[in-house]
Structure 1
Amino acid sequence: MNTTSTTLSLDQAASYLNCNKETVRRLAQANRLPAGKVGRKWIYIQRDLENYIRKQYSTYESVVQVVDNDEESLCQYTLETTSGGLNSLHQMEQEYDALLRLKTDNKR
């Protein structure tokens, strides 16, 4: 078993990941990409970058097997969430009415 690890500089890691080096540096600084800082330079281990790339793949759990007319196909889904909006039609109507209500001057 080979225990030596290949280390890469920021430029080499960016080239390896096919990314801009500033993107790689920001990911490392935000602890989203494994890296170490030696002095003022970021150092990356190639094996860690490979694992990072693998983690970006769709996981097997997100693939659903669909069977239709004796045909099997794989279908991916995402866990979508809706943001904003109102839960009830009544609440929505009340808010629309409040927004559309004309401002009138009570003094005549």
Structure 2
Amino acid sequence: METLDLEQAARFLKLHPEELRRRARAGAVPAAKVGKRWVFLAPDLADYLRSFYAVPRQALQVMLGKEGNPCHLSNAARSGGSMLSPQTGNEYADLLGLKRKPSRRSITTG
């Protein structure tokens, strides 16, 4: 297994050595301090670098149905789910048996 010193690891990661030292000290980059020197393992640095890769996104798969709909979301209204309107906070409190504070009334002087 290949080990790298601070300068070599900084070149590998395309970072300034001081920045790499700060990240290693903070534990952001996998490293070990042996004596007065930082030691890095090449596979660990490669894994660290890979952690910054963008998450692969699954391409939208368009499937044509019997109706010829070009998008799988075009029939979302028929997919089921609740047809009820959302309940207010007071209705939830009543259903759960929670105590609730009376609502404040606005007082205006005229």
Q: TM-score, normalised by structure 1?
A: 0.53
1:66: how far off?
3.1
State the percentage of identical aligned residues.
37
Is residue 15 of structure 2 the alignment partner of residue 19 of structure 1? Answer: yes
Larger Rg computed on CA atoms:
2
**What is the CA RMSD across the aligned residues, in angstroms?**
1.8
Structure with higher helix content = 1
- Pick from 35, 59, 64 the counterpart of residue 65 of structure 1: 59
What secondary structure does 1:66 align onto? coil
1:18: how far off?
1.1
Equivalent residue, structure 1, for 2:90: none
Unaligned runs of 5+ in 1: 71-108
Task: Count residues with an aligned counterpart.
Answer: 64
Alignment partners' CA distance in 1, 2:55 and 2:27? 21
Alignment partners' CA distance in 2, 1:55 and 1:15? 18
Alignment partners' CA distance in 2, 1:32 and 1:40? 19
Residues 41-87 of structure 1 deviation map (CA, whole Å, 9 limit, x = unaligned): 10000010001011110122xx242357x9xxxxxxxxxxxxxxxxx
Unaligned runs of 5+ in 2: 65-110
- Pick from 9, 12, 25 the counterpart of residue 5 of structure 2: 9
Alignment partners' CA distance in 2, 1:16 and 1:41? 17
